[in-house]
Amino acid sequence: QVQLVESGGGLVQAGGSLRLSCAASGFTSSTNTMGWFRQVPGKERQFVAVFRWNRSSSGTDYADSVKGRFTISRDNAKNTVYLQMNSLKPEDTAVYYCAADDSWVVRMTSSNFGSWGQGTQVTVSS
């Protein structure tokens, strides 16, 4: 089981920026996926961004609502994935969860991820 530790949430004004971090431990596969989901009370967990990698390639994918504003990246040496969030909007307010799986996840649904972080609150004020 992969363990995930998130950090970096907080309160920011609309138009501002935040960076979330997710440190992973316990990967045993060379093919993995790490990503971010977010959830507001009363709604389902929603896909935000993902980073997938194997021995020869890597790739990213984003929800339409964050394309051009959010960037996901990975520091291989630190086994950490980052979510840089720019031009934040009040509708980005949510609890953000880091997720991971020891496979190349194709369909971005929460059920396809085997490991989850504890969540970090992001609040964007208008």
Q: Distance between CA atoms of 120 and 109, rounded to whole angstroms?
A: 19
For 48-60, the pLDDT digits (tens) are: 999 999 999 999 9
Whether 1 has a pLDDT exceeding 90, the answer reads: no
Q: How many CB atoms lie within 10 A of CB 41?
A: 6
Contacts of 86 (CB under 8 A, 6+ apart): 17, 69, 70, 71
**Torsion sign, CA atoms 90, 125, 50, 115:** negative
Strands 10-13 and 120-125: parallel
For 22-78, the pLDDT digits (tens) are: 999 998 888 899 999 999 999 999 999 999 999 999 999 999 999 999 999 999 999
